[in-house]
Amino acid sequence: RDITSRSDAIWSFLLFTGYLKAVEVSMVDGRQRGKLAVPNTEVAIALADMVQLWFESQAGGSDELQSLLQALLRGDAPVVERHLAHMVKVNLSFFDTASPEPERFYHGLVVGLLAGLAPRHEVRSNRASGFGRCDVMVLPRTAGQQGVVLELKRVDTEAGETTEKALTAALRQLRERDDAAELRERGATPIHQMAAVFEGKRVSVRTAAEKKKKATTARKVAVQAKLAPPADTTARRRRR
């Protein structure tokens, strides 16, 4: 009963059932506090399997999860967006995304989903490092496989930010930091740079290639407009 009403009760449950153990125990304000750790390899494997099954169920099944992962590896932003948006809309509450640091929630969600890319790919999470790196990087174990750089961002609506501005800012960060350099060193090919922005239960995903394509199209339209011959107003005046 406590687990359904208190999100922190799950840790007490796992501790008392032996799935976790307390380390570095200390007294804080008259209460025992301690860090929790997995006791052994067997429990770690069991917990990993449980989490993987949960993510599969949240994604709509193993087929849907695999569809999401394959879309990510081929840089298919519309398909990634559709899967993430469906998962967020159907399974998550506004309470989850209304925390003081909602980016942490979105980050944990995405990293958990990408765990299914193992063992062919290494999923590296940089959210907690604070080194100015991208949020998530998918690195190939061997050269010649796909690589992905993923930047996650929450739309700051309170500051007047729009989804389009958030996507532009995230893609600019990827470009300026050149996070793809490490993937090039690994021999990853192709490399996809992708931004995912969240606004409550709404999700938008775009690749750097799409942003560049849109800008190129806009420039072509502008050039064509400049080259278009002026209207023949003399002929129109004669017909009148």
pLDDT, position 128: 47
DSSP strands (E only) in the chain: 21-28, 31-37, 121-125, 136-140, 147-154, 191-199, 202-207
pLDDT, position 64: 83
Q: Tell me the mean pLDDT in the region 70-84.
A: 94
pLDDT, position 20: 86
- What pLDDT band is residue 215 in, cutting at 50, 70 and 90? very low
The proportion of the chain whose per-residue pLDDT surpasses 70, expressed as a percent, equals 75
For the chain, the average pLDDT equals 79
Write 92-101 long-range contacts (CB < 8 A, 24+).
92/201, 94/200, 94/201, 97/198, 97/200, 97/201
pLDDT, position 5: 57
**Which range among 6-10, 177-181, 190-194, 205-209 has the greatest average pLDDT?**
190-194
What's the CA gap between 76 and 205, in Å, rounded?
A: 9
pLDDT, position 229: 60
Q: Specify the higher pLDDT residue, 218 or 9.
A: 9
Q: Which residue's entry shows tokens 């299914």?
A: 116
Tens digit of each residue's pLDDT (9 = 90 or more) over 161-177: 999 999 999 999 999 88
Q: Quick one: tokens of 232?
A: 């023949």
Tens digit of each residue's pLDDT (9 = 90 or more) over 20-43: 888 888 888 877 788 888 888 888
Phi, psi of 131 (to 5 degrees): -95, 15
Q: Which residue's entry shows tokens 């980016």?
A: 103
What's the CA gap between 50 and 171, in Å, rounded?
A: 34
Q: Look up residue 90 and give its amino acid.
A: V
> What is the pTM (predicted TM-score) of this model?
0.68
Tens digit of each residue's pLDDT (9 = 90 or more) over 130-167: 445 678 999 999 999 999 999 999 899 889 999 999 99
Nearest by Cα to 117 from 157, 73, 64, 169: 73
- What pLDDT band is residue 218 in, cutting at 50, 70 and 90? very low
Q: Tell me the mean pLDDT in the region 69-91.
A: 89
Nearest by Cα to 199 from 166, 159, 151, 150: 166
